[in-house]
A and B are shown apart, each in its own frame.
Chain A
Amino acid sequence: MSNHTTADRIAMYVGGGLVVLGTVGIGFLEMLLGSPHPVSGEGQIVHDALVPLELRSYIILAGFLVWGVYAIYMVATGGHIPGTTQRDIRAGQVE
């Protein structure tokens, strides 16, 4: 059974949470509560976002930052990265 460190939890839940919030969560809100998307005379869809695009950007970016910092932290501290803390079995080797 897995044994998550605090760093693992932060990366998984904060990092992943921010990315999913920015993409799926806000996307769903925009569909439900966002303004309609009228088509202009030029055929261009006019989209007034419920959540400012810049804010949405920063939320997703923050998620990526958490993931990136986690990766660097793991390398720097020699923490556990899946598949690296023990030697793999060699091809053809019986477990």
Chain B
Amino acid sequence: MATSDITNVRARMLGQDVAFSVSQPWLAYWLVVMRLVGGWWLLHAGLDKIVNWPFDAAWFVGGAAQGTSLGPVLALFSSGAGLAFTNVAVPIGQVLIGLGLVFGALTRTAAFFGALMMVFFYFVNGETGGWAHGVVTGELLGILIFGMIATLGAGRVLGVDSYLQNTEFVENHPRLRYLIG
């Protein structure tokens, strides 16, 4: 690997100076892989619900979630308009998040909402038996992967965001950089 392929990361953590080298091609490569696989995870989940429409989340928000840490929050969406919203928002949200991650479009926004959605799955599924073999589950790792995608702005690698960030519109509205990337 050429020396120019290496970049040095310097930071200060816990009062210690931290310095290490990173292979730039491999860093870029893994960002794309994480985006594609993590994106497909939610895109598939959303498309699966739409293909098998109608989707009814009542068993989850009104059933499984009751008595869990997030039960009081999800109870608000367990009947009436709240449930009707959830039944549409979950499949559509999963598709949009998945598309955003796969294509690297509005990546940070997509990753944030992906992590938010996964938080609900993690605690409800975990507290109702999913943590029988430990609290580190696929959902927890999903939250961490989405966090990494958002932190590192993975959409700028072979993604739509690499184009968006250089548009005049984004350059005139720098705050938008927090939503793409």
Q: Which residues in A have some Cβ–Cβ distance to B below 8 Å?
A: 1-2, 4, 12-13, 22-23, 27, 45, 47, 53-54, 56-58, 60-61, 64, 67-68, 71, 74-75, 78, 81-85, 87-88, 90-91
Contacts and interface: CB of A to CB of B under 8 A. Distances in A.
Interface residues of B, number: 40
B175 A58 contact: no
Contacts of B147: 67
B135 A2 contact: no
A27 B131 CA distance: 11
Given A53-B127, A68-B116, A90-B166, A84 B10 contact: no
A74 B119 CA distance: 20
Nearest to A12: B13
Interface of B: 10-14, 17, 68-70, 108, 112, 115-116, 119, 123, 126-127, 131-132, 134-136, 140, 143, 147, 150-153, 156, 162, 165-166, 171, 174-175, 177-179, 181
A75 B175 contact: yes
Contacts of B68: 57
Contact of B131 (A1, A53, A78, A90): A53
B155 to A, nearest CB: 10
Given A53-B127, A67-B147, A84 B134 contact: no
Given A78-B175, A84-B177, A1 B135 contact: no
Given A2-B10, A58-B69, A87 B181 contact: no
Contacts of A71: 112, 150
